[in-house]
Structure 1
Amino acid sequence: MNRYIKTYTVPILILFHFIGLIGMVFINLERFAALSIYNLLLSVILLFISHASSQFNFLKLFIPVFVLGYLVELLGIVTGFPFGNYHYGEALGFKLYGVPLIIGVNWFMLVMGSGFLARKVVSNSWLQVLGAALLMVVVDYPIEQMASTLDYWHWEENNIPLSNFVGWFIVAIIMQVLFVKYMKRETNRMAVPYLVVVFLFFVLLNLFI
């Protein structure tokens, strides 16, 4: 049964993002944006199912990335450091001290996708860290352009500061060091497709909305 599910994780991922795209563009933007949390939860479950090596190592990476992702976002909305001045909307669900808990899952998914993609391109560990961190910033860019429209988060004066991308890069480096530590011998068939699908999803949203 588990092998059967693994076969279809990527098609399921593509299908749900396609439905979300159609729903946001042609049916009801606000209603489908509010389903983003469920899409993220489904994606991380599929990623876990697709992990071919040690699920224990999967969790050893997930926990610190989730916690660090949440804490750095909490620091961000309270102090404006390291990303800039912003606040979260309602579309990402339950918030603890103003930060949606699902945001830690988002960080983890991008870490996994970028980390495995960078590994395919370069073999040196530090080049993997830097390349994967840069990939995370690249993927974040179209997400940032849609964040306010989707009521994910809102920047002060609707201006996305350069500090956001610098901050993303620095935090991403820390997370990618953890990725190299815990995923050195791991494989995951869905991580890279997830990164590509999410990037294309938000690029297309920017084009059509």
Structure 2
Amino acid sequence: MKPLEIAQRICLMGHIATMPFGWVGLLFILPNPEMIVNLPPIGQTLFRVSMSGGGVVNILLGAAAVALYAYRTLGVRRWLGFMVPAVCLSLSSELMGTCTGFPFGDYGYLSGLGYKIAGLVPFTIPLSWFYVGLVSYLIALGGLQVAQNRTMIRQVGAIAVGAVLLTAWDFVLDPAMSQTIIHFWEWGQEGPFFGMPYQNFAGWLATGALFMSVGTWIWGQELPQVSRPQLGFPLVVYLSNFTYAAVLSGFSGFTIPVVLGMIVAVMPALILWWITPEKGDEGERLNSPAGDRNRVTQTTVNVVAK
């Protein structure tokens, strides 16, 4: 196993391992302050550290794992061609949203997610847009390979479906993260959907579709042909993050968003993964120059042999 693959797996395992600590702290310990008082001094210290930095570590590990996966399987151009627009455009959207209320509605971030850029948006937020956005896009892109030789349909479909999968994740995460006993952002307006404005979801769809469109344009006509095994990693990242959000919201009493999220997010993701072809491009990197050279060399050898 190569060093980068090992690092990718370690980051993914660490990303997933931080989730139970979040569940225990947010759902059981904080609602019962006597449990904190009864902890030994080292336990209280560990609890404070986990509550203040656990969310940051979770997001950093998730972003690192997906970045390593993208570098290994897509190459530098496609990795940065998606990550840079995702981070820059989502940060711009978040800064505009926290200043003006557009496009998400009137909201603001509290503490717990790291240093705030311009005092408004935690630096981890655009990273979460990137890594959940990329795995959502890749899941859609893989399933839409059924539209063979129809590049435009696959491009537009991957942007639309990927943006829906991304928004469906927030659909489940937002209630628990903004309205429980301790929350990381708060709404300045009372919305009709469990305290959230519908405008929030329109903003998520628009922002996700925007940076996915820019990434698709940078990638060009040569979209990667992925196989079902190669989509295993994006699927695990997506489902683990959905599960984290679903547990927080479900135990906090927001069962309807969880059920709707299962319908809009989990089922489509599994179907898209299932209909992805069993075999894709050979080799570690999808449609890489090295892979192209190998195929050209093999073709030349076959012609000479004939």
Q: TM-score, normalised by structure 2?
A: 0.62
Structure 2 residue 125 is matched with structure 1 residue 103: yes
Deviates further, 13-22 or 156-165: 13-22
Structure 2 residue 122 is matched with structure 1 residue 79: no
Structure 2 residue 168 is matched with structure 1 residue 138: yes
Structure 2 residue 153 is matched with structure 1 residue 115: no
Query: Matches of 1:120 and 1:188 in 2, distance apart?
Result: 7
Q: Aligned with 1:122: secondary structure?
A: helix
> Per-residue deviation at 1:33?
4.7
| Number of the residue aligned with 1:156 | 188
Deviates further, 138-147 or 186-195: 186-195
Structure 2 residue 230 is matched with structure 1 residue 194: no
Task: Give the letter for the 2:202 counterpart.
Answer: V
Q: CA separation of 1:5/1:101 partners in 2, compared to 1, >3 Å: closer, same or farther?
A: closer
Task: Give the letter for the 2:187 counterpart.
Answer: W
Query: Matches of 1:3 and 1:168 in 2, distance apart?
Result: 31
Query: Matches of 2:5 and 2:98 in 1, distance apart?
Result: 42
Q: TM-score, normalised by structure 1?
A: 0.87
Where structure 2 has 5 or more consecutive residues not aligned to the other structure, the ranges are: 32-46, 146-153, 253-306
Q: Aligned with 1:143: secondary structure?
A: helix
Question: Which string of whole-angstrom CA distances, capped at 9 and with x for unpartnered residues, describes residues 73-128 of structure 1?
Answer: 11111111111101111111111221112111011012111101111222321111
Q: Does the CA-based 8 Å contact 1:139-1:199 persist in structure 2?
A: yes
Calculate percent identity across the aligned residue pairs: 23
> Per-residue deviation at 1:189?
5.4
Structure 2 residue 7 is matched with structure 1 residue 5: yes
| Number of the residue aligned with 2:158 | 128
| Number of the residue aligned with 2:251 | 208
Query: Matches of 1:188 and 1:50 in 2, distance apart?
Result: 11
Q: Does the CA-based 8 Å contact 1:113-1:193 persist in structure 2?
A: no
Q: CA separation of 1:168/1:6 partners in 2, compared to 1, >3 Å: closer, same or farther?
A: closer
Query: Matches of 2:5 and 2:102 in 1, distance apart?
Result: 44
Deviates further, 107-116 or 8-17: 8-17
| Number of the residue aligned with 2:90 | 69
Task: Give the letter for the 2:185 counterpart.
Answer: W
Question: Which string of whole-angstrom CA distances, capped at 9 and with x for unpartnered residues, describes residues 21-45 of structure 1?
Answer: 2343333479545321111011111
Q: Does the CA-based 8 Å contact 1:9-1:50 persist in structure 2?
A: no
Query: Matches of 2:26 and 2:9 in 1, distance apart?
Result: 28
RMSD: 2.4
Q: Does the CA-based 8 Å contact 1:88-1:151 persist in structure 2?
A: no
Q: Does the CA-based 8 Å contact 2:85-2:215 persist in structure 1?
A: no
Q: Does the CA-based 8 Å contact 1:9-1:46 persist in structure 2?
A: yes
Query: Matches of 2:30 and 2:211 in 1, distance apart?
Result: 35
Q: Which has the larger radius of gyration?
A: 2
Q: Aligned with 2:108: secondary structure?
A: strand
Query: Matches of 1:197 and 1:155 in 2, distance apart?
Result: 26
Report the count of equivalent residues: 209
Query: Matches of 2:123 and 2:8 in 1, distance apart?
Result: 27
Query: Matches of 2:202 and 2:4 in 1, distance apart?
Result: 40
Structure 2 residue 201 is matched with structure 1 residue 165: yes
Q: CA separation of 1:170/1:208 partners in 2, compared to 1, >3 Å: closer, same or farther?
A: same
Q: Does the CA-based 8 Å contact 2:8-2:64 persist in structure 1?
A: no
